[in-house]
Structure 1
Amino acid sequence: MTVFSAATPRSPRTRTRAHLIPVVLGGVFAASAIALVACLLWPTWSTGGANAPDKLPVSVGGTLFNVPTSAVRMKIQRHTGPQERIDVDFLYPSLEPPDVPRHVTADTVDAAMQPIDRIFLSVAAHHDALSPEQRTATIYPRYLDQATVIPEDGLTMRMFRVDTPYGNEDLYSGTSPTLTARCTRDAVTPGMCLSERRVDGADLTFRFPRSWLLQWRDVAEAMDRLTVQLRGPRS
């Protein structure tokens, strides 16, 4: 007796689909695994973002500074480790780091001419160059006008001679607290002052408006506090 099978033979197309199912499932599993690994390994930190650290340990000239992240003015400098130079600014008189950087555009340039409310600071490796104290004691006197100046409120001002590299500047000095500042004179733009100090392997250069010298003791104390604030407690 002849027995006929009731099963219908599968077409070549059906067999091809059946073979593709394991391949597709394998691809899906592989893609899922890659996505999971990428999520686990993707960095969760960012410079200047919501998850950025409050302070960055930065070494300048072999000297360690703890710098508030939001105070760093240049994005490229917002990282830990050794750096040749770092530029920061702080609100004055609170000495708090600014919440957001100030950007100036063609549309906001007029508004940008408002009084400056920040003290600017650059920290750079000095590589054994002449110290600020030596420059004040040996270089500046060569270019100063010899006219006698009477201190006002404990602050002495001496003019640089016109025919010198500092011809449009004046030198201010005071004690209790100590302050030495070289300031440009008011012109089209308000005068600015520069005050330097050396901390181990780095030179700190503070910049602030000349008009602040009306309260020069407050400015000198602010620079002292900022120096301690960035260096941290020392044993």
Structure 2
Amino acid sequence: MTVFSATSLRSRRSRTGTHLVPFAVGGAFAAGAIALVAYLLWPTWGVGGASAPDKLPVSIGGTLFNVPTAAIRMKIQRHSGPQERIDVDFLYPSLEPPGAPKRVTADTVEEAMQPVDRIFLSIAAHHDALSPEQRVGTIYPRYLDQAATMPLDGLTMRMFRAETPYGSEDLYSSTDPALTARCTRDASTPGMCLSERRVDGADLTFRFPRSWLSQWREVAEAMDRLTTQLRGPRA
């Protein structure tokens, strides 16, 4: 009786193990299939998300500009669509967007105080305000000293009178190539120049170091090139 019971038990266990083999094989295949699907569907983007586009179409004063994203100085302005104003800068003379700004510490502050190597540009809707050409032709002459310096390499300089709103500035002008720039004089900080032009519904205000006037033709051509690049080909 005992022998028969033990034999029967071993027989049942053998049959049970045999029946479990197909389930084990099927489970392994199912697990493999699930792993494969999970691998194929798993997100592939990095932690930082998708990278920003190289250029953004921005409408200012109803005028379309294609602006390099890396050139936009303030994060809040880094979006496409209508904007009231946008501030950008470009390395000179390459006119490439600058790289990411370096973090300045107490140990590197002297190293960070390097000469300005870029052109700054603000583009703003003018809302039919007085144009740059009108200011040069009708407003500035009221405050200029009557004497004008002789042209230096084709560039004429006139001083503003001391008691005027522009008393610490000089006006530079030329016709070939065209350039008009209002420049502060060198003092505790180097002088800077401001040159404006109107493009449809927007005014472009360029700023650059006064010292660059020694190569003013190249600077004037650089501003022309930037204007063309930002506006793109026109029909």
Q: d(CA) in 2 for partners of 1:108 and 1:183?
A: 30
Q: Does 1:85 align with 2:85?
A: yes
Structure-1-length-normalised TM-score? 0.77
Aligned to 1:136: 136
Matches within 5 A, 1:178-217: 178-217=178-217
Aligned to 1:147: 147
Q: 1:159 to 1:102 in 2, by over 3 A?
A: farther
Aligned-partner residue type, residue 129 of structure 2: A
Unaligned runs of 5+ in 1: 1-38
Aligned to 1:223: 223
Aligned length: 193
How far apart are 1:87 and its partner, in Å?
A: 0.3
Q: d(CA) in 1 for partners of 2:50 and 2:218?
A: 33
Aligned to 1:61: 61
Matches within 5 A, 1:107-122: 107-122=107-122
Aligned to 1:171: 171
SS at the partner of 1:110?
helix
SS at the partner of 1:146?
strand
Aligned to 1:234: 234
Aligned to 2:26: none
SS at the partner of 1:147?
strand
Q: 1:190 to 1:87 in 2, by over 3 A?
A: same
Q: d(CA) in 2 for partners of 1:106 and 1:204?
A: 36
Does structure 1 conserve the Cα–Cα contact (< 8 Å) formed by 2:168 and 2:184?
yes
Q: d(CA) in 2 for partners of 1:145 and 1:189?
A: 24
How far apart are 1:106 and its partner, in Å?
A: 5.0
Query: Percent identity of the aligned residues?
Result: 82
Structure-2-length-normalised TM-score? 0.77
Does structure 1 conserve the Cα–Cα contact (< 8 Å) formed by 2:195 and 2:205?
yes
Q: d(CA) in 1 for partners of 2:187 and 2:168?
A: 10
How far apart are 1:149 and its partner, in Å?
A: 1.8
Does structure 1 conserve the Cα–Cα contact (< 8 Å) formed by 2:148 and 2:159?
no
SS at the partner of 1:145?
strand
Q: 1:196 to 1:95 in 2, by over 3 A?
A: same
Rg (Cα) greater in structure: 2
How far apart are 1:176 and its partner, in Å?
A: 1.3
Q: Deviations over 1:35-58 (max 9, x none)?
A: xxxx98xx99x8xx7611000000
SS at the partner of 2:96?
coil
Q: d(CA) in 1 for partners of 2:187 and 2:79?
A: 38
